[in-house]
Amino acid sequence: MAKILCTICARGGSKGVKNKNIKLLNSKPLIAYTVEQAKQSGLFEHIVISTDSDLIAATAQEYGAEVFFKRSPEMASDTAGKLEVIRDAFIRSEEHYQCTFDTLIDLDVTAPLRSVQDITDSYAQFLRDDNDILITAMPSRRSPYFNLIEMDDSGKVALSKKLERSVLRRQDAPKSYDMNASIYIWKRDIILNESSLFLEKTGLYVMPEERSIDIDTELDFEFVEFLMRKHND
């Protein structure tokens, strides 16, 4: 049976929402939703937290996650890339548990509206398509071929992307997607050796907008709270 590691990365210095990862969302810390989803998926023997915060670590452990290291200051800075943080957690986990994992699934704390089925179905798609990496996204609300624009240094305004033919309706443009920062899946050799998400065998698992909100601001937080309450009514 394949050995799958789950990582959940949650640093303490969030800027958009203070103490975001442990802020109460409908009476439960934000990080608790992701830990519980990982447990309910039944995919993982180990659910590992990467954090620089003792409070986040204690909160995650309370809900059943494992914390056996503290993230270094370098890995917790504003300039640290997420991929290197995830790779660091993967390498530390193999050393700590004295085993080799076949697959890594990283779940983002800020995407609590994902479902457990999103986790299991995206992994099944990853296996079915023999992907090296799988990322999740939702259908984009704005098309780079129709209503996303750029402005260069001279002030010239143009569409972000152009086709040989004119696009008069958004529906006629090629399909585009917004990454929703929810689920990332890697084969072992890929997480250890590649620094891009976009490879020849990168897969895309599409989620609906109502399960794709990535909490980055107070407004996002309030909107997610509203949707959760509406769903539970």
The mean pLDDT value for 73-87 works out to 85
Instruction: Judge contact between 104 and 39, C-beta under 8 A.
Output: no
Same domain, 24 and 57: yes
Give yes or no: residues 164 and 188 share one domain.
no
Residues 158 and 214 grouped into a single domain: no
Give the C-alpha separation, 112 to 90, whole Å: 22
Same domain assignment for residues 147 and 68: no
**How many residues appear in the chain?**
233
Whether 168 and 209 map to the same domain: the answer is no
Residues 149 and 132 in one domain: no
* Residue 142's pLDDT band (cuts 50, 70, 90): confident
Question: Are 35 and 145 in a shared domain?
Answer: no
Q: Which domain holds residue 45?
A: 4-138+178-232
Give mean pLDDT, residues 87-114. 97
Instruction: Name the pTM for this structure.
Output: 0.93
pLDDT at 182: 98
Do 40 and 150 belong to one domain? no
Burial class of residue 121, CB neighbours in 10 A (0-12, 13-18, 19+): middle
Same domain for 169 and 184, yes or no, is no
Which pLDDT score, from 0 to 100, does residue 164 have? 78
One domain, residues 55 and 164: no
Strand order in the sheet with 177-187: 46-50, 4-9, 103-107, 177-187, 133-139, 202-206
Q: What is the pLDDT at residue 233? A: 66
- State the total domains in the chain: 2
Do 19 and 126 have their domain in common? yes
Give 6-19 as a 3 state SS string: EEEECCCCCCCCCC
As a whole number, mean pLDDT of residues 62-76 equals 92
- In the chain, the percentage of residues whose pLDDT exceeds 70 is 99
Span 154-167, pLDDT tens digits: 999 988 888 877 77
